[in-house]
Amino acid sequence: MALASEPVLLLMDEPTAGMSPEETTVMMRLISALAAERTVVLVEHKMKLVMGLCERLIVLHHGEFLAEGTPEQIRNNADVRRVYLGEE
């Protein structure tokens, strides 16, 4: 229904919640195809999906800004690693 008006911006909140790994893979392909034609903003906790799809990420911790950057920058960000991976 959200695509019926051909939006230039699509907001998706946890689009793969409750999906199996196979269903998530299909959804990743769909989101990628949608992103070729419009801006897609995701709120998502599945890091494999986010890192595989997104060009830029914003990481929040307890609702507050923690980091922003490319997937590679986020993977290597000391604050992200400390908060989410428990690394020093």
pLDDT, tens digit (0-9, with 9 covering 90-100), for 15-64: 999 999 999 999 999 999 999 999 999 999 888 889 999 999 999 999 99
Q: State the distance between the two ends of the chain, measured CA to CA, in whole angstroms.
A: 45
Q: What is the pTM of this model?
A: 0.80
- Give the whole-angstrom CA distance, residue 10 versus residue 39: 6
Q: Cα separation of 34 and 36, whole Å?
A: 5
